[in-house]
Amino acid sequence: MKFSISQAALQDLLQVVVSAVPTKSTLPILSNILVEADREGLTMVSTDLDLSIKTRGEAQVDREGSITIPAKRIGEIVRELKPDTEIKVSVSGTKVKMNYGHGSSTIIGLDPEDFPQLPQIDAEKMVSLPTDVFERAVKRSAYAVSSDETRQMLTGVLFQLQGNMLNLVSTDGHRLAKAAFQGDFKGLEGRDLIIPPKALNQVVRLASGNPKVNLTVSRNFAVFEVGTTTVFSRLIDGNFPNYEQVIPKENPHRFHLDKEEFMGAIRRVSVLSDHVTRQIKLALKPERVELSVSTADVGEGQEALPVDYTGSEIAVGYNASYLLEALRTIPSNKIEMRLNTPTSPGILVPAEQEKEEDLLCLVMPLRLPDA
């Protein structure tokens, strides 16, 4: 194998695939990037067996072939070269020689035959998703994913088709996020997908500047195509819980308020909250909502905000960090909060939903000391 490529072009390709290279692995081949050269240019592939990234780029190929190269070593060498530097690469056996400027390096690679194969794509079942809508849905749902590996089905984001709405849902048992958008999603009918957030975040990163993301389901993989790059994500096994059961249908206590004012009050009051539970008290009263905290050996504080509410009083405890995370995902300046009972989940939504989209944030309550 022999080819020439600029530092800038090679750096761009490496930056695309390096995210799927595991930092630690018992399989040495996974620390390498598969490089294939043909008449059309270069193909690079990386994988940790759960997430794989494949991308293509232009290069002057003089001799076709393939090799796997240690990602860390080639990355460090290329990073130190100037963008306009021409790099000439030649491979003999497993030795990869790189000539550049007044210097050269030789890296020992591994046999490309040992590199894991990628799943095949069934293009007939492809669904196109607008990049901007997909990016918003991922950012507004993935934050509530669980980190508890004993509950595998909660460590990913649910993709669920209901009519012409695609729901992205995540929960860790303490909060829940649901972001949905309308579209033509033929090809996803009849199957719920649970996709790791790492893969979704990579797709969002790589989709910048591209108008659409193409999604295909191939056996136990979700395959995302963005321009000349393909992301393969192993689906998470298991059945996602019936999340609709935990969303209260009746929420008689509703009020609107400015999102930034609400977040500011939460931040100030929570300074004196318990560092583990982060609990604050939210007391809803006619025309105001009071936020307060009282923590032994720490201190106490309170703050009131005006709201458009005339109903009966209710007091609920919440984790301040969970409230803030949910509020950050709401795009509008005005939010609506819906409460049922002190032991029921609280719901946060935009005061006005965006056209053809739907967003809901749910936060489980904490028992108040005086309850």
Q: What is the pLDDT of residues 316-332, one digit of tens each?
A: 999 999 999 999 999 99
| For range 180-190, the mean pLDDT | 84
d(CA 201, CA 283) in angstroms, rounded, equals: 37
pLDDT, greater one: 15 or 123: 15
Band of the pLDDT at 148, cuts 50, 70, 90? very high
With tokens 């004993």, the residue in question is 150
CB within 8 A of 266, min separation 6: which ones? 280, 291, 320, 323, 324, 327
Structural domains for the chain: 2-114 (3.10.150.10), 123-244 (3.10.150.10), 249-363 (3.10.150.10)
| For range 58-86, the mean pLDDT | 97
Residue 62: pLDDT over 90: yes
Residue 125: pLDDT over 80: no
With contact defined as beta carbons under 8 Å apart, do 192 and 230 qualify? Answer: no
Which pLDDT value is given to residue 223? 94
d(CA 65, CA 204) in angstroms, rounded, equals: 31
Q: How far is CA 316 from CA 42, 166, 245, 319, 329, in A?
A: 58, 32, 20, 10, 22
Which pLDDT value is given to residue 124? 62
Which pLDDT value is given to residue 371? 58
Average pLDDT value for the chain:
95
Q: pLDDT by residue (tens digit) across 21-42?
A: 999 889 999 999 999 999 999 9
d(CA 293, CA 255) in angstroms, rounded, equals: 21
Q: 99 has which bridge partners?
A: 88, 104
CB within 8 A of 308, min separation 6: which ones? 255, 256, 287
Which pLDDT value is given to residue 184? 84
CA atoms within 13 A on the CB side of 97: 9
Which pLDDT value is given to residue 186? 80
CB within 8 A of 150, min separation 6: which ones? none
d(CA 333, CA 353) in angstroms, rounded, equals: 12
Which pLDDT value is given to residue 187? 76
With contact defined as beta carbons under 8 Å apart, do 329 and 259 qualify? Answer: no
Q: How far is CA 51 from CA 23, 55, 164, 261, in A?
A: 13, 14, 28, 40
- Percent of the chain at pLDDT exceeding 70: 99
Residue 251: pLDDT over 70: yes
With tokens 């958008």, the residue in question is 181
Which pLDDT value is given to residue 117? 94
